[in-house]
Amino acid sequence: MASTINLLRLLADPTRLRLLLLLEQEELSVAELQQILGMGQSRISSHLAQLKRAGAVTDRRVGKNVYYGANHHGRNSQRERVAEITHLLAREVPETTRDRTGLKLILHKRQDKARRYFDELAGKFGRSYVPGRSWEALAHMLISLLRPLTVADLGAGEGTLSQLLAKRARKVIAIDNSPKMVEFGGQLAKKHGFKNLEYRLGDIEDPPIAKSSVELAILSQALHHAIHPERAVAAAHRILKRGGRLVILDLLSHRFERARQLYADHWLGFSEVQLHQFLEKSGFREIEVSLVSHEKQSPYFQTVFATGVK
């Protein structure tokens, strides 16, 4: 085990400190650490090697995977010294809260055994023809299972989803910041006889909806258009009744820069950690975040689902 001076020198690097803080809580693979820290494999492996040489970290092979963890096999005085120094320095690292959220998501993924099946299933629906099976039919079926609710469709566009929801909801309020979209959606609602569907011109960061007045708020592929996405999530929390739910469908972080010109995207998607933090900071509970689809064609967009209860 390294001397106290060498240990201080080792942990003076914020990345190594963050790694050790995470590995004190759970054994993790390099791939899992990449997801949490948002860093490249070579950089993480280099820091792990230094921590291992100093005796602060051990590794364990499980099949094809190697898991790293804090060294808990040294003398008590050594372990206590490492823990004391690590937690003392942790106060100086602003990313610790983000890392905790990332670790929580990684552990959730491990526990969600069904996720592996659905990850394989994602993208296969509709690739082979089955008479009568379509996304539209499936959406109708699922929406019919909802109890009558007051719903806010935030960033509704022309309101295709709003109109599907209106078939079952008590009331649907569709919000969009484009006057033409609102006008077009309103005409469609009138044409199809939806008296419980109202289109309103407004911004998802400050929707023209009364506080604590809706039971379900939806941000479907709308959050990446917001200038301040965290404000949009906070606004959704504000308009929900206690016990109401927010549902977010958006793109996972990507590097397809042309999306800004092609689709007027302000953000190139969000990471699972970012969405979890948006919900957490706004006061939501029972938070769930997961990947639900992966496109098979370039630029290989992935869709992430996030939800929370007020």
Q: What is the pTM of this model?
A: 0.69
CB crowding 2-23: b at 16 or more within 10 Å, else e: beeeebeebbeeeebbbbbbbb
In this prediction, residue 261 carries a pLDDT of 87
CATH architecture classification, 4-96? Orthogonal Bundle (1.10)
Please identify which residue in the block is written with the tokens 């050790």.
20
Q: How many residues does the chain have?
A: 310
Reduced to 3 states, what is the DSSP secondary structure of residue 305? strand
Q: What is the bridge-based pairing of β-strands 65-70 and 57-62? A: antiparallel
Q: How far apart are CA 285 and CA 100, in angstroms?
A: 16
Average pLDDT over residues 166-171: 91
Q: Is the dihedral of CA 230, 232, 233, 238 positive or negative?
A: positive
List, for residues 273-288, the tens digit of each pLDDT value: 999 999 999 999 999 9
∠ CA 144-285-303, nearest 5°, is: 60
C-alpha distances (whole Å) from 217 to each of 14, 138, 155 are 39, 21, 11
List, for residues 207-262, the tens digit of each pLDDT value: 999 999 999 999 999 999 999 999 999 999 999 999 999 999 999 999 999 998 88
∠ CA 225-205-175, nearest 5°, is: 80
Is 115-309 a domain of CATH 3.40.1190.20?
Answer: no
**Choice among 2-16, 252-266, 281-295 with the minimum mean pLDDT:** 2-16
In this prediction, residue 42 carries a pLDDT of 92
**In this structure, what are the phi and psi dihedrals at residue 168, rounded to the nearest 5 degrees?**
-125, -30
List, for residues 67-101, the tens digit of each pLDDT value: 998 887 655 555 666 667 777 666 777 888 888 88
Q: How far apart are CA 171 and CA 190, in angstroms?
A: 14
State the chain's mean pLDDT as an integer.
85
User: DSSP letter at 58?
Assistant: E
In this prediction, residue 92 carries a pLDDT of 75
Q: How large a percentage of the chain has pLDDT more than 70? A: 83
C-alpha of 218 from chain center:
15
More confident residue, 148 or 308: 308
List, for residues 182-206, the tens digit of each pLDDT value: 999 889 888 989 999 999 999 999 9
Listed residue (38, 69, 32) closest to 51, CA to CA:
69
**Choice among 26-30, 82-86, 293-297 with the minimum mean pLDDT:** 82-86
What are the extents of the domains in the chain?
Answer: 4-96, 115-309
In this prediction, residue 1 carries a pLDDT of 47
Gyration radius from the chain CA atoms: 23
Average pLDDT over residues 124-144: 61
Listed residue (91, 102, 88, 95) closest to 25, CA to CA:
102
Q: What is the bridge-based pairing of β-strands 214-220 and 240-251? A: parallel
In this prediction, residue 45 carries a pLDDT of 93
In this prediction, residue 71 carries a pLDDT of 83
In this prediction, residue 119 carries a pLDDT of 56
C-alpha of 140 from chain center:
26
pLDDT confidence band for 10 (50 / 70 / 90): confident
Q: How far apart are CA 297 and CA 217, in angstroms?
A: 30
Coarse DSSP helix, strand, coil percentages of the chain, rounded to the nearest 5 percent: 45, 25, 30
User: DSSP letter at 270?
Assistant: B
What strands, in cross-sheet order, belong to the sheet with 57-62?
28-29, 65-70, 57-62
List, for residues 100-129, the tens digit of each pLDDT value: 888 888 887 776 654 555 555 555 555 555
Q: How far apart are CA 264 and CA 177, in angstroms?
A: 13
Residues 6+ positions from 256 with CB-CB distance below 8 Å: 268, 299, 301
Task: Tell whether the model's pLDDT for residue 139 goes beyond 70.
Answer: no
Q: How far apart are CA 267 and CA 257, in angstroms?
A: 10
